[in-house]
Structure formats: C-alpha cells, structure tokens
Amino acid sequence: MEIISSVNYSETMQKKVEPYLEKYRVIKYFERTKGEPICYERYAMPDAKACVIISHGFTENSDKYHEQAYYFLNEGYSVYIINHRGHGRSFRMTKDPSLVHIKDFNGLTEDLPSLRQR
C-alpha cells in the first residue's frame, strides 16, 4: 500500500486523494431525533470486503479522516464517516459553527447504530 508522503502532502491530497474520494463520496443525513439531522459521508466500494465506520474525536469532523478513507477504499473496504451531533455539518445546539456543545455524550454513541442501518 502506498502511504502519502509529508513531502507535497497538500498537493497530493488535492490532486490525487480528493478526486479519487469524490468518485465514491455521498453526503447524507439521518435523524435519530426529530429535527436533529446527523450528517455522514458514505464511500461505497463495489464488492467491498467489509465496511469501516470512522467515529471522529471531540471537536473534529469527517474532513480530518479523508486520508484514512482513501487508504481503506484502496484496500477494498467501504467507509462511513459520521459527523457527530454538534460537529461538522450535523445538528448543533449553538448557532456558532466554531463551538461544540453536547448535552449528553451518550447521544454520540447512540447515533452510531442508526448509521449502521444506512
């Protein structure tokens, strides 16, 4: 497997990785709680070996994991990356997109089974 070098990293991501991902990327939403849409990215590989679900960390979002999605796709796996509530393009309890506010961290893990059904 080819690992992306730190030399010319931005250029490689822009010219190679992102165009490759775009062929497979579908951005979708689901609502586990009415009125609170949760965004996720789906990269469906035809005849995939299996599916990988990436659950980002606090104050992160799916954008940080495009390189990892690229590696998994190249190895024949489909990839789902959730934008947890309060993060990325998902429902927020605050209007300021630079802030993350979570009422209950259990909600983050309770959203994951809903993603698996997509």
Reported pTM: 0.88
In the numeric block, which tokens belong to residue 105?
């961290």
The predicted structure's pLDDT at residue 114: 78
Contact between 54 and 81 under an 8 Å Cβ cutoff? The reply is: yes
The residues that bridge with 11 in the sheet, in sequence order, are none
The predicted structure's pLDDT at residue 42: 96
The predicted structure's pLDDT at residue 110: 81
The predicted structure's pLDDT at residue 116: 65
The predicted structure's pLDDT at residue 117: 62
Name the maximum alpha-carbon separation found in the chain: 45
The predicted structure's pLDDT at residue 97: 80
Residues 6+ apart with CB under 8 A from 54: 62, 65, 68, 69, 79, 80, 81, 82
The predicted structure's pLDDT at residue 28: 96
Mean pLDDT of successive 10-residue segments in the chain (118 residues)? Answer: 93 97 96 92 95 91 96 97 92 86 79 73
